[in-house]
Amino acid sequence: MIKAFLFDLDGVIVDTAIYHYQAWKQMANGLGFDISEEFNEQLKGVSRMDSLDIILTHGGIELSQEEKLALATQKNENYLNLVSKMSPEDILPGVTDFFAQVKKENIKTALGSVSKNAKLILESIGMSDDFDAIIDGTKIAKGKPDPEVFLKGAEELVVLPEECLVFEDAVAGVEAGKNGGMKVVGIGKKEVLTQADVVFENLVGVDIHELLAQIN
């Protein structure tokens, strides 16, 4: 039986992918190459340093660990500058209604994000109190598709992995949930999130009773 919902942040609750993209693009341009929006797809749900490695490989650039840290810090400063303007209006469609149902049904909730900025983003959109546990990039050693972020969420909520339902928009994130032995709701395209148990375009109109009947 499903007792807890574990939510990814970026792409499920809020869409910061565009800001990550703008900040990475600015960095790449500074190094003399460009990244496309299509390229950016593979960075979704991937940790900051892993994303940087993927981008540098793409640009054919090799750097020392020190140089990489400096670039990642600069990118994060630019990114934070962009997301600092976010407000509750940036919450993705359907999320607020869905959380009202979650509360009514007494389902436990955890955030499972690899972002080190997750708490800050939740504060700016006014959703900090909507989660019983928050697992973010500061609490984990391994990024998605490793299941650590979701297993820690289950642990903090004191539920078993098989009692959890993960909500994810990224291929790496769906894999992380599956690797943790959990059921996964994909948010996005069926053709992309092939491993998910069920896929919705977004949370608009999703009914918890119908969803649970579909999952079990």
Pick out the residues of the known binding site for substrate: 8-10, 24, 43-48, 51, 75, 113-117, 144
Rg of the chain taking only CA atoms, in angstroms: 17
Nearer to ligand G16, 120 or 212 (CB): 120
Give the DSSP H/E element, type plus range, for residue 28: helix 17-30
Among 102, 116, 132, 198, binds ligand G16 (CB under 6 A): 116
Looking at 28, 45, 148, 167, which residue binds ligand G16 (CB under 6 A)? 45
Give yes or no for a contact between 110 and 134, defined as CB atoms under 8 angstroms apart: yes
What span, in angstroms and rounded, lies between the C-alpha atoms of 177 and 161? 9
Task: Verify binding: residue 113, ligand G16, rule CB under 6 A.
Answer: yes
Structure tokens at 86: 């976010």
**Using rule CB under 6 A, residue 180 touches ligand G16:** no
**Among this protein's residues, is 8 annotated catalytic?**
yes
Rule CB under 6 A: is residue 10 a binding residue for ligand G16? yes
- Taking the complex as a whole, the smallest distance from the CB of residue 12 to Mg ion amounts, in Å, to 6
Cβ nearer to ligand G16, comparing 109 with 117: 117
| Binding positions | 8-10, 24, 43-48, 51, 75, 113-117, 144, 168-169
Binding mask 77-96 for ligand G16 (x = CB under 6 A): --------------------
In the list Mg ion, ligand G16, none, the entry touching 137 (Cβ below 5 to 8 angstroms by class) is ligand G16
Binding partner of residue 115 among Mg ion, ligand G16, none, CB under 5 to 8 Å per kind?
ligand G16
Question: Which among 106, 192, 109 has a CA at the least distance from the CA of 153?
Answer: 109
Which two three-digit tokens encode residue 64?
């020392």
Burial class (CB in 10 A: 0-12, 13-18, 19+), 105: exposed
Question: In the complex with ligand G16, which residue's Cβ is closer, 9 or 35?
Answer: 9
Query: Any bridge partners for residue 7, and if so which?
Result: 111, 167
Q: How many CB atoms lie within 10 A of CB 97?
A: 14
Largest CA distance in the chain: 52
Catalytic annotation on 53? no
Q: x/- contact string, 23-42, with ligand G16 (CB under 6 A)?
A: --------------------
* Torsion sign (Cα): 154, 160, 164, 168: positive
Question: Catalytic positions, please?
Answer: 8, 10
